[in-house]
Amino acid sequence: MKIYVLLLLVCLCNPLISQTNFDDFDGLYPKGPIPEEFTLSSYSKYQEEIEKNKTREKNEKQDKDFIITSIYEIDRMLANGSVLFNDPVTGYLEKILDSLLVNEVELRNKLRVYTLKSNEANAFSTRQGILFVTTGLISKLNTEAELAFIIAHEISHFTENHVEIGYNQTKDIRKRKGKWKFADKGKRLRKLSNYSQPMEFEADELGFKILASSNYNKIASMQAMGVLLSSHVPESNHVFDPETLNDPALKIPSSYFLDSIPPMVFDEKYDDKKSSHPNIHKRKLKIQELLDNFQGNLNENTDFLNPKEEFLFVKNLCRLESVKLEVEKGFPLNAIYMIPVLKKEFPNCHFLDEYEAKAWYKLVIHSNNESIHLVCRNPKSVEGESLQLHNLIEHIGRHPEMTTTIALKNLYKCYQKQGQNKTAKALWRSALKNTIYNNTLDFDELKTQNYTDAKREHDSLLTIKKDSIKAAGGDVEKETKQVRILSASTHHGNVSYTRGGKKKEKLREFDEDTFYEYGFSDLLKDSAFVQLIRVLKDEIQNDMSIVYELRNRPYHKISEEKTPRKIDLNSEELLVIRPIVDYRDSDDDFDHVSSDLNASGALESIENFGMNNGIKTKLLNQYSNNTTNVEEFIDMNEFRKSFFQLASVGFDPFFIPSNSEKITEIYQRRKIKHLLFPVVTRSKEDGVEFLFLIFDLEKKQMISEFHRRFNYKAPNIEKFVEKQIDMILGKMLE
């Protein structure tokens, strides 16, 4: 009885452990009050650092470029929605940091740790004292002690000021100054690694000392190296069964799949001449020296200072989030491969069902847009069993009719399994509509006979014909080969012609490449499906004026005037997101300060236009005075996420972003229908470019666009931008 009471007390004291039901998981989001560094403008931080720099001794002064880069690059990441705070994962990281620095109160107070939503297995520190740990890394680790060593490694980078030292040592190389101006890329990379690799060894050594001063298992430092070595392959290297892609109507030929998968390569001694980090073999040798010289019992400590259940809970949160990230970042095949294993562990997790549908949906859209290469990794870079799936899509990627058929039929399976789920239904309709609009498949021309029956019938007739040739004393191989050669070059309907012009009946094997023509034979016998196709065709016809306007933008003539659709707000409020402003002196020289200041200026111009024209505006700006509204912070980043997903498919008016449910939720909560998304870019080569988009949040569609480039290169850019914003909004709104 005592043990049950003890377990109950542990669970009550640690709410994370008692909340291990993932059925309602819908992604990781920041919570609670927003930390000040997220809402304080980059320019104000920059000014503060410049003032501090004036009071430093000459040998302690920081390079101005370093101050700008270190502030603005980190702030862009803090503001883009990929960094978590006050969430269960970050809370867990904070507890590990506390355990490592329990006797270093002053150092602990200088540090903050955040979770970075990324499937890359990585951790890094900044000069400001921020430690970032990715969800991808956490999802691959085996123990809390391994995670503790990696955090200790990053603490050491901070205490030794490696970020600034590395920047100063390599500035000329990266900027191609002095003797590095004409050096080739390989030489520059090798020199960069010469500077950074010693600092990695130092961080390993000092990180080990921090770990050794705690109650964590010291051997975890070596175990962490093994995890890093295998971090490039999926956590679960399960066999992918090609048959799972098929259904009674769709039969992908077995010849499209690999007979065997090459073994994975885990080479500890990989060439690190152009790498910032020493190879794993060198790092393990150094760590082994530290273990051998350790004065104490290596086995007296533990892998978990917090309950192991809490580690597993956090790890599983990150594993589930990885599926979402793969779909959002444009690699749906990775998600499709990962989901079956996760479903076995979490059979009632609706999130996995939804993202399986979203992954197949994204594949349909990119296939129809003939941009499958954007969401498919090169098979040469893929190791392990997932290669089977990547190789298939790469193999047929040049044939959208094949890829679309496979993706559509698997999306249909998801739709069937999810019953009346609104999201699955919307994705299914949108995918079909996109397929019809792009003419990838003509459903009127597809076969109603299924693949298996068609092949059986063909093979039966072929056998009869071959037997007939044999009976007549003919050469079956010769006849078949001759007809194949001729029919490949002079194909006329159902007959082939010999060189003499005499008609001859074809004799050929069943063409497996036509498998897609039979893929919808089951649905084409369903009157409801046939009716749905008719309805979608009518919808496309009715929407053609808007579709034509939005899909036929003259990007090659964007310096010319093109009148956007004018939107009548009917006295409704307009939601305005902080503009994306990108000012560059060259492709590699981003002007952080000007971009930041002009983003604020552009937002102010939009607000002034609204006030002057009786248009109520609601501004979404992370640098507002309200530092506690995390809901507004999340909303802004959900809008940005939708924007970038839409941009990846050319603002396809039928496309549904993967976070469409969140957009619907925001619309229902805010009751604001229209969203303005402004983008302003400037470069010496191209002048100033404006892209202003208006979205209907109720329909989740882009409904108006202004896109124009001006050959303006005069210095007074602020007044010019303000004037153009007035002109643009005057054309778009009434």
Residue 664 buriedness (CB in 10 A; 0-12 / 13-18 / 19+): middle
Least confident of 55-69, 452-466, 484-498: 484-498
Rg of the chain, C-alpha, whole Å? 30
Nearest Cα to 22, choosing from 345, 424, 339?
A: 345
Whole-number Å distance between alpha carbons of 407 and 386? 17
- If you search the block for the tokens 């008719």, which residue do you land on? 534
**CA angle, 698 then 701 then 702, to 5°:** 125
Task: Give me the pLDDT at residue 502, please.
Answer: 43
Per-residue confidence (pLDDT) for residue 547, from 0 to 100: 54
Other CB atoms within 10 Å distance of the CB of residue 405: 27
| Residue range 431-454: mean pLDDT, rounded | 92
What values do phi and psi take at 585, rounded to 5?
-85, -25
Q: At 530, is the pLDDT very low, low, confident or very high (cuts 50, 70, 90)?
A: very high
Question: DSSP string covering 101-157, please?
Answer: TTT-HHHHHH-EEEEE--SS--EEE-TTSEEEEEHHHHTT---HHHHHHHHHHHHHH
Q: Distance between alpha carbon 279 and the CA centroid of its chain, in Å? A: 27
Give me the count of residues in the chain: 734
pLDDT tops 90 at residue 94:
yes
Distance of alpha carbon 497 from alpha carbon 515, whole angstroms: 26
Exposed/middle/buried for residue 702 (C-beta within 10 Å: 0-12, 13-18, 19+):
buried
Q: Higher pLDDT residue, 471 or 439? A: 439
Read off the pLDDT of residues 248-260 as tens digits, 9 standing for 90 and up: 999 999 889 999 9
127-156: average pLDDT: 96
Least confident of 110-124, 159-173, 360-374: 159-173
Residue 196 forms beta bridges with which residues? none
Residue 185 confidence (pLDDT) above 50: no
* Per-residue pLDDT, 90: 97
**Which has the minimum average pLDDT: 179-183, 186-190, 269-273, 353-357?**
186-190
The answer on pLDDT for 121 being more than 60 is yes
Percent of the chain with pLDDT strictly greater than 90: 51
In whole angstroms, what separates CA 530 from the centre of its chain?
35
Least confidently predicted of 338-347, 383-392, 581-590, 681-690:
581-590
Identify which has the larger pLDDT, 587 or 250. 250
Cα separation, 140 vs 156, whole angstroms: 22
631-659, pLDDT tens digit by residue? 989 999 999 999 998 888 888 878 899 99
Q: Are 225 and 284 in contact (CB under 8 A)?
A: yes
Q: What is the mean pLDDT of residues 698-725?
A: 85
- Report the candidate in 416, 439, 395 with the shortest Cα–Cα distance to residue 248: 416
| Per-residue DSSP letter, 579 | P
pLDDT of residue 171: 67
- How far is 543 from 653, CA to CA, in rounded Å? 10
Q: Mean of the per-residue pLDDT values for the chain? A: 84
> Confidence class of residue 387 from pLDDT cuts 50, 70 and 90?
very high
pLDDT number for residue 544: 66
pLDDT (0 to 100) of residue 486? 28
pLDDT at 479: 62
CA dist 434 and 441 (Å) reads 10
Asked which of 176-190, 396-410, 644-658, 689-703 is least confident by mean pLDDT, the reply is 176-190
pLDDT level of residue 571 (50, 70, 90 thresholds): confident
Q: What is the mean pLDDT of residues 168-175?
A: 64
pLDDT value at residue 190: 44
Half-sphere exposure of 603 (CA within 13 A, CB side): 20
pLDDT digits (tens, 9 = 90+) for 36-70: 888 888 888 888 888 888 887 766 667 788 888 88
When pLDDT is cut at 50, 70 and 90, the band that residue 165 belongs to is: confident
Give the pLDDT of residue 308: 96
pLDDT digits (tens, 9 = 90+) for 492-510: 333 333 334 444 455 567 7
Share of the chain above pLDDT 70, in %: 85
What mean pLDDT do residues 587-594 have?
77
Say yes or no to pLDDT of 4 above 60: no
Cα separation, 365 vs 372, whole angstroms: 9
Q: How confident is the model at residue 474 (pLDDT cuts 50, 70, 90)?
A: confident
Least confidently predicted of 267-276, 319-328, 544-553, 674-683? 544-553
Q: Are 532 and 540 in contact (CB under 8 A)?
A: no
- Reply yes or no on whether the pLDDT at 560 is more than 60: no
H or E, element range at 168: helix 162-174
At 674, give phi and psi (nearest 5°): -110, 135
Q: Which of 193-202, 295-304, 368-377, 478-487 has the lowest mean pLDDT?
A: 478-487
For range 556-583, the mean pLDDT: 78
